[in-house]
Amino acid sequence: MMKIKGCCVLLIAAVLLGAAAEVHVTEPVFAAGKSQAEDAIASDLSAFGKNTKCDSVSAVTYADGKLCYYGDSKGLYRIGSMTKAFTGLAVMKLIDEGAFTGESSLSDLIPGFEVFFNGTPAKITVNELLMQKSGFTNDENVYPAPSPDMTLAEWAGSVSGRRLQSAPGSVYAYSNVNYNLLGYLIERVSNMSYQDYMEQSILRPLGLMHTYAGEPDDGERIIQGTRLGFRHAFACSFPVAEAAIPAGYFYASAEDMGRWIRILTGAEETGEPYSRLIASVKEHLMSEGDYFAGWERFAGGRIGHSGGTADYSARIVFPDDGSAGVCVLTNLNVAASTDSLCNRLLDRLQGQEPGDIQTDVWTVFDLIFTVLLIAGILWSVIFMRFHKRSALILSSGLTAGLLASILIVMPLAFGAGLGPLLMKWSPYSFGATVAVLGIDLLLALIRCFAGLKRSREPDGTRR
C-alpha cells in the first residue's frame, strides 16, 4: 500500500509541475513608443501562454493609424478558417467579372453535381454557400473531411449525391463543406488550380507576400504546430489535404495580417476591384449574427472570424468603423482561449473593460483525461490485489461503462469520428486514457474468466 501511495504522489506531483511550468513569450516589438495599452497587451499575451501552455503566440494590433507587432511577426502560422475570407473574396471577384452570379446554382456550374433534401433534388446557390445556408453541416460523420490525397474535384464528387440537413437558404449552419465547394468552383471557372488562382489573383495583388494557399515553400519560417497533452504542448505536424485548403489551411504571418487589417479597415489603398469588393462584403453584414464570404458580424458592431486546426488557432476582429483591429496567431488548438484573447485586446484598444480569457474545451478535457489516466493507472495497481469474483465483475462493469461512455459521448459531442478524435484533434491524454481503461478492462475480464475456470475444476473452491 505504501508503494501505491508513493506512485500516486509521484504522478500527481508530475501533473502539478506540468501545470505550473511557464511558457516563454517573446517580448513585443513596437512600431512606435510603448504605451500603457501596449504593456497591458504584452501582459495578456504572456498570461495566455502560461495558462494554455501555448509556446508561440504572435499578434498584431492596429489603432490610431499604426500597427504594433508582438511575438514573431514574420513566422508563418496556419490560420484555419480565417482562410474562408480569402476564398469568399475570390468568389466575389469572379462574380464581379461576370463568371457567374450569387444566385447561380451550384449544380449548373458543376455538371453532374447534385444534392437532395427530403428525397428530392435541391439546388444550392453561390450566395447560400457564402452565407453558410446551403443545408450542409460541419458534422464529419455525415460529410467526411477530405483525405490527404484527395483533389478538390475528387472530394466534390464524394459530396455529390448526399442528403442535406435543411432546405437550402432556410437555416444557418456553419460548414467547411461550403467553402471547399467554393474552392472547387474557383478552379472550374478560372481554369487554374485553386492555389495558383488565389496567389495570382488575390494574395499578391493585395500585397500579402507571406500568405500562402496551403504549405508554403519557405518551410524555415513555419512556426511548428503543437498538440496538447498532460498540460504540455508537444510538437506535432499534420499534412495539409489539398481539398481542405479553401475552407481552412492558409498560412500567414502576423506582418501580413497587419496589412490585411489595414486593407479591411480602409487604411490601405488596394485599388479596384478589391476595395469595392470588400465594401460589398460588409454590406451583407448589417446585423449581429450575419455571415457572408468568410466574415461574421458580432455584438457591438464588430466583424471578424476565427480559425482552428488540430495544431493551430487564430482570430481576427475589427469594428465596423475601421478604427482598430487585432489578429492573434497561435501554434496550439485552443480556439476559445484565442478568440477571447483577441477580443480582449480589441477591448483595450477601444478603451473598453477587457473581457476575460476563456478556458478552451480541450484544456478542460486535457485536465479531465489526465486525472482519469492517473486514476486508471492507480486502479490497475490496486486491482491486482482483488481476488473475489464479485469484486472483479463489479470492476469490469464500472470500467466498461466508463470506457463506453467516453467512446460514445466524445464523437457525438464534437461531430467527428473516433479515429480523427484520437489521432488528430483531441489531447494526447484522451488516447492514453482510452488505452489504459482498455487495458484495465482486459485485465479484469482475464481474471474473471480465470477465476471462473478455477471454480469449475473438481478440486476448485468458489470465491
The reported pLDDT for the residue numbered 452 is 54
Per-residue pLDDT of the chain (463 residues; tens, 9 = 90+): 333 334 443 343 344 334 433 333 333 343 334 577 888 999 999 999 999 999 999 999 999 999 999 999 999 999 999 999 999 999 999 999 999 999 999 999 999 999 999 999 999 999 999 999 999 999 988 998 899 899 999 999 999 999 999 999 999 999 999 999 999 999 999 999 999 999 999 999 999 999 999 999 877 899 999 999 999 999 998 888 999 999 999 999 999 999 999 999 999 989 889 999 999 999 999 999 999 999 999 999 999 999 999 999 999 999 999 999 999 999 999 999 999 999 999 999 999 999 999 999 999 999 998 998 888 788 777 766 656 666 667 767 777 888 888 888 888 878 778 888 888 888 999 899 888 888 877 877 776 666 555 555 555 454 4
CA distance 76 to 216: 9
The reported pLDDT for the residue numbered 8 is 40
Contact 210, 74 (CB under 8 A): yes
Q: Any idea what DSSP says for residue 162? A: P
Contact 179, 269 (CB under 8 A): no
- Report the predicted TM-score, pTM, of the whole model to 2 decimal places: 0.86
Q: Is the peptide bond before 420 cis (omega within 30 degrees of 0)?
A: no
CA distance 378 to 6: 11
CA distance 438 to 376: 10
Q: Length of the chain, please?
A: 463
∠ CA(328), CA(333), CA(335), 5° rounding?
55
| DSSP E strand stretches across 230-337 | 232-235, 250-253, 291-292, 295-298, 302-308, 313-319, 324-330
